[in-house]
Structure 1
Amino acid sequence: MRLEAVLIAVLGLAGGGAAAISLPQALKPAMPVHAAVTAPALMPGRVVVTPADLHQAMASGLLDRPVKTMLDVRSPLTYGEFRWDEKGVPAGPTWVRIDLKSQIISVFRSGHEIGTAVILYGAESKETPVGKFPIQAKLKDHHSATYDQAPMPYTLRLTGDGVSIHGSNVRWGYATHGCIGVPLAFAAKLFSVVKAGDDVVILPGKAPAKV
Structure 2
Amino acid sequence: MRTILRSGLLAAGFLLASCSTAPRQPLAPPPPPPKAAELPYKWTNGFAAQAHKDALAAFGPLALRPGDFRWTPAIPEGDAKVVIDLLTQAFYVYRGEQLVGVSTISSGKKGRETPLGFWTVFRKQVKGFSRRYDNAPMPYMQMYDEKGIAFHAGALPGFPASHGCVRLPLKFAQKLYGLTKIGTKVVIEG
Deviation at 1:172, TM superposition (A): 3.2
Residue in structure 1 matched with residue 164 of structure 2 by the alignment: 178
For residues 96 and 103 of structure 1, the distance between their equivalents in structure 2, rounded to whole angstroms, comes to: 14
Read off the aligned partner of 1:80 and give its amino acid letter. G
RMSD: 2.1
The amino acid that maps onto 1:152 is M
CA offsets, 1:79-101, max 9 Å, x none?
011011141x4211210000100
The one of 41, 47, 61 aligned to 1:63 = 47
> What pairs up with 1:124-163 in 2 under 5 angstroms?
124-163=110-149
1:82 partnered with 2:69:
yes
- Return closer, same or farther for 1:104/1:173 CA change in 2, 3 Å cut-off: closer
CA separation in 2, counterparts of 1:157 and 1:63? Answer: 21
Aligned to 1:72: 59
Which of 78, 81, 94 is residue 92 of structure 1 equivalent to? 78
- Structure 2: segments with no counterpart, 5+ residues: 1-42
Give 3-state SS (helix, strand or coil) of 2:111's partner: helix
Q: CA deviation at 1:73?
A: 3.3
* 2:97 pairs with one of 111, 114, 119: 111
TM-score, reference length from structure 1: 0.63
Q: Distance in 1 between matches of 2:170 and 2:107?
A: 15
Answer whether contact 1:80 1:183 (CA < 8 A) is retained: yes
- Once the two structures are superposed, the pairs formed by residues 190-201 of structure 1 within 5 Å of their partners are 190-201=176-187
Q: For the pair shown, which has the larger CA radius of gyration, 1 or 2?
A: 2
Figure out how many residues of one structure are paired with residues of the other and give that number: 144
TM-score between the two structures when normalised by the length of structure 2: 0.70
The percent identity for this pair of structures is 33
Counterpart residue identity of residue 120, structure 2: P
1:190 counterpart SS class: helix
Q: Which one has the bigger helix percentage? A: 2
Distance 1:143 1:179 in 2: 12
The answer for unaligned runs of 5 or more in structure 1 is 1-57, 205-211
Asked if the contact 2:118/2:186 (under 8 Å) is kept, the reply is yes
Q: Higher relative contact order by CA 8 Å / sep ≥ 6: 1 or 2?
A: 1
Inter-partner Cα distance in structure 2 for 1:179 and 1:73? 28
CA distance in 2, matches of 1:150, 1:130: 23
